[in-house]
Structures are given as C-alpha cells and as structure tokens.
Amino acid sequence: MPTDFEKRVYEILKKIPKGKVTTYKNISKKLGKKSYRAVGNALNNNPYAPKIACHRVIKSNGKVGGFAHGTKKKIEMLKKEGIIIENGKIDLKKFGI
C-alpha cells in the first residue's frame, strides 16, 4: 500500500498528459520539499503503472533517467507518445510542463 508521500506523488503524475514530461525536481517543488530521491523511489514503487505514468518523469538536465522496467523501455514509451529524444535528452522547453 502506498505511503501518504507516494500518494501525493501519484496525484501529481496523473496531471502529466501524454506527450509531455516533468522532472523529479518539479515534482519535489510541488510537494514543497527537496526530496528528488524520494520522488524517484515513489516512482519505482508505483503500483498503478502504466495508468499513472511514471515514465514521463525525467532528470532536470533533460536526460531520460532511470525506470523500473529499464531505460530502453522508458525511451520506447516516450517515443510512442511523440516525445523526441536527441543524444539521450529531451527538450524541456518543447515537451516539459
């Protein structure tokens, strides 16, 4: 069963539309904390995937970052949503929210 913190993270994830991404840092800011690593752990524990799409969360520098099912799968899922990945990075100005 998800913790209260994880539930708050998942509520934020629900608001990320297909074809868009956000960062661990942005989620932490919305929670009023500097808990990037805790956000990553919550995503890794996400029992609602893919309905609550944790693959749409990337690093602040635009790099794809980790994924419970592997980076290759994360890239595949993002590309299916129309997100362009060049040199291992996503343009946050174009695809970020």
CA–chain centroid gap for 7, Å, is 14
Is the separation of the CB atoms in 19 and 95 below 8 Å?
A: yes
Residue partners of 30: CB distance under 8 A and separation at least 6: 12
What's the CA gap between 93 and 72, in Å, rounded? Answer: 23
Q: Confirm whether 54 is a catalytic residue.
A: yes
Annotated catalytic residue: which of 12, 39, 54, 58? Answer: 54
Phi, psi of 9 (to 5 degrees): -60, -45
The residues annotated with a catalytic role in the active site are 54
